[in-house]
Structure 1
Amino acid sequence: MHPSLTHIALHVPDLDACVHFYEHFCGMHIVHERSGKGSRIVWLAETGNEHRLIFVLMPGGTVRNLASDDYSHFGFALASREQVDEIAIKAQQAGCLVWAPRDEPYPVGYYCGVRDPAGNNVEFSYGQPLGSGSDAFTSA
């Protein structure tokens, strides 16, 4: 038997703000919602991945105050460099851009970083050997 990663569960300080962030920036949508432990619990997924990997968001967390050199993050692949730039512009306008777009050698590729309302870093990349754009690079 091999375990399979199916979900990431997070306590967040503002559930509605986090749901909106992941819908607006990451294209995720609510696939399940219920009451539980005295609060609302929301499952979010990408279209087509509803049965593979979800984020479970639950109220009650505190804002993560990551150090400036803490690169902990969730990673989302995009289909082009232009899409990375578009996310960065949207994040700059929303006041949540933490890493401006930059290029790094394989396997990192082109990426930017955005902070969600709970203080988590979210990376948007193109050219990594994972997800959209993975065919664009070869290991050199």
Structure 2
Amino acid sequence: MPPTLTHLALHVPDLDACVAFYAEFCSMRVIHERAGKGSRIVWMAEPGKEHSFIFVIMPGGADRQLAADDYSHFGFALASREEVDAVAARAQAAGCLIWAPRDEPYPVGYYCGLRDPAGNYVEFSYGQPLGPGSEAMPIP
């Protein structure tokens, strides 16, 4: 059997702020917490995906200072353009919107970007050949 991607582990400067961000904007929830080397380690997952992919969030990281033209990011798919606009509006109000909603040719689609409290960029998209409704879309 080939390897399966199961988790992403992040050291962050403010654990509670990052947990709150991923709960608020990504609808992830805490599925496990444990002590680890004098600190708390938190596992988060999207509902229904607890056994397939998680974020492991740990304290002790440095704030990432990504350049404006750095497109390193975590990508989350949404079910409509309106949902992308709604996330962007909430992020604008919270002061964490970095890429206003924009439309790009297939396979990129319609997306916006946020900065999490650790400095990671997080994209919310609609119309990519991944995520909700993608089963009918060809992957180029």
Calculate the TM-score normalised by the size of structure 1.
0.96
Shift of 1:139: 6.6
Shift of 1:133: 3.4
User: Which residue of structure 2 lines up, in the alignment, with residue 3 of structure 1?
Assistant: 3
In structure 1, stretches of 5+ residues that fail to align are none
Shift of 1:134: 1.9
Instruction: Describe how 1:17-96 pairs up with structure 2 within 5 A.
Output: 17-96=17-96
Shift of 1:26: 0.2
Closer, same or farther: CA 30–61 of 1 in aligned 2, 3 Å:
same
Shift of 1:25: 0.2
SS in 2 for 1:42: strand
Closer, same or farther: CA 104–135 of 1 in aligned 2, 3 Å:
farther
Q: Structure 1 counterpart of 2:17, which letter?
A: A
Matched, 1:117 2:117: yes
Separation of aligned partners in 1, 2:41 and 2:72: 24
Calculate the TM-score normalised by the size of structure 2.
0.96
Shift of 1:38: 1.0
Q: How many equivalent residue pairs?
A: 140
Closer, same or farther: CA 39–110 of 1 in aligned 2, 3 Å:
same
Structural RMSD (CA): 1.4
SS in 1 for 2:100: strand
SS in 2 for 1:71: coil
- The sequence identity of aligned pairs, in percent, is 74
Shift of 1:137: 5.2
In structure 2, stretches of 5+ residues that fail to align are none
